[in-house]
Chain A
């Protein structure tokens, strides 16, 4: 029984979260005794997929199919799954996975679990763990149907590359009969100055109402620049327009799981924590020793951000200078 992994591309480049999905899918395939087949759309170079565990890559080169049109993507996946005999289809739980995986589930009558954070336990069925309650708990969900669709929480499975390679075959699918009525008019950048998008970022520097006003974000941006990090903010800061909405993290904003989350002048309200508690290391800088965020932090500095942050930036700059 094979596992099919949908690999998403952006301008022809393979997304990092899709590499994680391929690696995950190859482990599932090994568990259930099958091979891991990757399906990509219009990838410029799919050779990397072998090194993360794919045994074969099917590449669709057809400009009329793109991730923006889930109905066509589903068509391609169904055809590929049939041709390789896959019963399990794996996605990254990113903007494309969220649009396509549920459609596929409904189309094939396959049980779907999203936000998956573990490999399946196949001792009693097919049980995977997923994040629920915004990361405050896990549900262990058994997929009852024969066909299964999984989408993997980004930044949950580190990617380890090997020397392996996989053949890339071209795969064609006829989508001419599908008229979904969707036309992409424009793609706008977030204006994040080329930084890694928040959901994929490994390093995030975030600030809240403690910074008093938008004019004080220079030092936050400096820190992000020094570290190669992406900037984020608390909800009120986005609501009052100090920062753009796409930077809002938390329960009602973007949920992130970077390696490092630095929170400056953020109190750590439960709804904020809900979106960042999956971060591997949390650093909190706050002048109030009672700020709830310290309870969720790994490292903390009690102090005035306007004094601490410039000093920390100096130290980080020095460190980066010495360590490249």
Chain B
């Protein structure tokens, strides 16, 4: 089994969200970068589990500049066999998906597992685009995935429930909670990661379809109105009359 896991590099979940350059750029000062949780916890770990059981390789791939490399090494420390970096700063999903497709095309991957979304740009875009570019099925929001005999059985989250689908290899699936349990890299993995191959390939120069013109922050919340614990009727009144929420 040959599995490709696209990983994105995102600010740590506790990062302060601020912008610079006239609100046109994310302020990267003091930011800790991590592998996007969905990609690491679910897509990568499930890919590792499958290859540990059935044999095969897991390649992680990132579209990003050289600053992404320490974070890519973390995915190698968790057990990925090799890594690829496509050398361009990612600015939008169409470009990312196209670059990933250019790389994956013709390399015989049995499946591509990626995250359901990046926690910074919250797109849920790359997986579906990649599948279309590769001409293979796309199973989004997968919470469980088993493969046997060239067919995968996948639980896919839909509103109010789960759809169980069967899909023939190859395909692209996006991973959400439930797919696997988070792993912590051990010392041996971290040491091994240093010498695992990380190949840098040039980008093809796909043109962007969108561009972000500025960022804004939501209006700050006004301060909380506290209601006495002995006066719950007052809360009900406020929710009805003031907030009009019930």
Measured CB to CB, the residues of A under 8 A from B are: 10, 15, 68, 70-71, 74, 93-96, 98-107, 109-115, 127, 129-145, 180-190, 192, 196-197, 199-200, 203, 227, 238, 245-246, 248, 251-253, 259-260, 270-271, 274, 277, 280-281, 283-284, 294-304, 307-308, 311-312, 314-316, 318-319, 323
A-B contact pairs, 7 of them (CB 8 A): A106-B97, A131-B122, A139-B214, A182-B167, A199-B159, A245-B177, A299-B243
Q: For the complex, give the distance between the alpha carbons of A246 and B208 in Å.
A: 35
Asked if B124 lies at the interface with its beta carbon under 8 angstroms from chain A, I say yes
| Residue contact B94 to A105, C-beta cutoff 8 Å | yes
| Residues in B neighbouring A127, C-beta threshold 8 A | 213
- Whether A296 contacts B221 in the complex (CB less than 8 A), given A100-B128, A181-B171, A301-B232, comes out as yes
Asked if B238 lies at the interface with its beta carbon under 8 angstroms from chain A, I say yes
Q: In the complex, what residue of chain B is closest to A181 when comparing beta carbons?
A: B168
Asked if B131 lies at the interface with its beta carbon under 8 angstroms from chain A, I say yes
| Residues in A neighbouring B57, C-beta threshold 8 A | none
| Residues in B neighbouring A283, C-beta threshold 8 A | 235, 239
| Residue contact B210 to A95, C-beta cutoff 8 Å | no
Choose one: A136, A145, A183, A284; the contact of B209 (CB below 8 Å). Answer: A145
Q: In the complex, what residue of chain A is closest to B178 when comparing beta carbons?
A: A245
Q: Which of B11-19, B63-71, B78-86, B185-193 contacts A (4 or more CB under 8 A)?
A: B11-19
| Residues in A neighbouring B246, C-beta threshold 8 A | 203, 227, 260, 316, 319
The secondary structure that dominates the B interface is mixed
Asked if B201 lies at the interface with its beta carbon under 8 angstroms from chain A, I say no
Asked if B224 lies at the interface with its beta carbon under 8 angstroms from chain A, I say yes
| Residue contact B161 to A188, C-beta cutoff 8 Å | yes
| Residue contact A245 to B224, C-beta cutoff 8 Å | no
Asked if B129 lies at the interface with its beta carbon under 8 angstroms from chain A, I say yes
- Whether A139 contacts B227 in the complex (CB less than 8 A), given A95-B140, A190-B162, A259-B245, comes out as no
Kindly state the interface size class of chain B when it binds its partner.
35 or more
Q: In the complex, what residue of chain A is closest to B209 when comparing beta carbons?
A: A111
| Residue contact B177 to A112, C-beta cutoff 8 Å | no
| Residue contact A251 to B13, C-beta cutoff 8 Å | yes
| Residue contact B236 to A319, C-beta cutoff 8 Å | yes
Q: In the complex, what residue of chain A is closest to B226 when comparing beta carbons?
A: A300
| Residues in B neighbouring A301, C-beta threshold 8 A | 226-229, 232, 235
Q: In the complex, what residue of chain A is closest to B166 when comparing beta carbons?
A: A183
Q: For the complex, give the distance between the alpha carbons of A314 and B208 in Å.
A: 56
Contact with A along B93-125 (1 / 0, CB 8 A): 110011000000000000000001001111111
| Residue contact A181 to B243, C-beta cutoff 8 Å | no
Q: In the complex, what residue of chain B is closest to A299 when comparing beta carbons?
A: B225
Contact with A along B131-146 (1 / 0, CB 8 A): 1110001111101000
| Residue contact A99 to B128, C-beta cutoff 8 Å | yes
| Residues in A neighbouring B167, C-beta threshold 8 A | 181-183
Q: Counting chain B CB atoms within 10 Å of each CB, which of A110, A112, A138 scores highest?
A: A112
8 pairs of A and B residues whose beta carbons are closest in the complex: A102-B128, A303-B229, A111-B209, A197-B160, A106-B132, A181-B168, A260-B245, A106-B129
Contact with A along B188-227 (1 / 0, CB 8 A): 0000000000000000000011111111111001101111
Q: In the complex, what residue of chain A is closest to B221 when comparing beta carbons?
A: A296
| Residue contact B122 to A252, C-beta cutoff 8 Å | no
Asked if B51 lies at the interface with its beta carbon under 8 angstroms from chain A, I say no
Q: For the complex, give the distance between the alpha carbons of A320 and B165 in Å.
A: 42
| Residues in B neighbouring A270, C-beta threshold 8 A | 13-14
| Residues in A neighbouring B19, C-beta threshold 8 A | 137
| Residue contact A106 to B128, C-beta cutoff 8 Å | yes
Choose one: A95, A307, A311, A318; the contact of B158 (CB below 8 Å). Answer: A95
| Residue contact B218 to A300, C-beta cutoff 8 Å | no
| Residue contact B243 to A281, C-beta cutoff 8 Å | yes
Q: For the complex, give the distance between the alpha carbons of A318 and B94 in Å.
A: 54
